[in-house]
Structure 1
């Protein structure tokens, strides 16, 4: 009786390592930080070409933060939050963090009010933009400038 073909551990690791190296070459390396242009592109992806109007959205964030590691923000949207007229989603964008889209929040009329509160990290002094999508398909926005004295997202762990 012939013995079955067996792959040794060393052969398996060599093959898997070669495959991993091949996969690494397929990875696209982008910029280390978002830019105003990448933020605009991320917003375009969310709104899918629709017009974004100022108003109905209030972005509450401190104008000056000592430490960018934990920046509180609240987004409130004026809406009756009824079945016929409500906020579908709230999106937060920034100019200089590693990723331009900080967060996406999906809500329904059952939420009772269109408000989210969170804490984010900010890599540097920058402009934040909050966009709300309403049930009628319209998009509304607000922006806020934040001065950061001690940047986050760029510090190395010690």
Structure 2
């Protein structure tokens, strides 16, 4: 039997087994998908989210984190953000919007050996600061940028 036929049969058998398990309820999305921390993304004040994420750890302001974003966003439903940093060993980036109902917008897990460069689009309820916190080992670094929003994007 040639290799392509073996691969086809192997993949077909795997897919069939997965389908049987999924239909029978043995595999459910909560078992398959990664766990995420709902309480971090819940409605809370900016200070409450910082305490949940970082306890009482010291966060140092850094000019080595750059946040590129428009000074004025005409529509808060989609605000482009670019984050880069020259800090070494960054393994996580936290993107927060101070006055959003749920201030934590994203958590990016990175390899400490890569250069930090992240692009995202966020929602902003109103004009406020966007805060980026970079984690490098036991150290936390912060940068912020004020963005004026003419039409909020977090309304119901």
Structure 1 gaps, min length 5: 1-31, 81-85
Q: What per-residue deviation string (whole Å, max 9, x for no partner) do you get for residues 46-100 of structure 1?
A: 22211100113212111111111110001112234xxxxx111000111222211
Paired position in structure 2 for 1:28: none
Which structure has greater helix proportion?
A: 2
2:61 maps to 1:54: yes
Larger radius of gyration: 1
2:124 aligned to which of 122, 146, 155: 122
Q: Deviations over 1:130-150 (max 9, x none)?
A: 000002x10000111110111
Cα distance between partner residues in 1 of 2:87 and 2:60: 15
Q: TM-score, normalised by structure 2?
A: 0.67
Runs of 4+ in 1 over 6 A off after TM superposition: none
TM-score (norm 1): 0.66
Name the CA distance, whole Å, in 2 between partners of 1:69 and 1:126.
14
CA drift of 1:33 comes to 6.7
Aligned residues: 114
Question: Does structure 2 retain, via aligned residues, the 8 Å contact 1:93–1:130?
Answer: yes
Aligned pair 1:89/2:97, yes or no?
no
1:71 is aligned to 2:74: no
Contact 1:33/1:96 (<8 A) preserved: no
Pairwise CA RMSD of aligned residues?
Answer: 1.8
**Cα separation, 2, equivalents of 1:53 and 1:40:** 16
- Cα distance in 1 for partners of 2:73, 2:81 equals 11
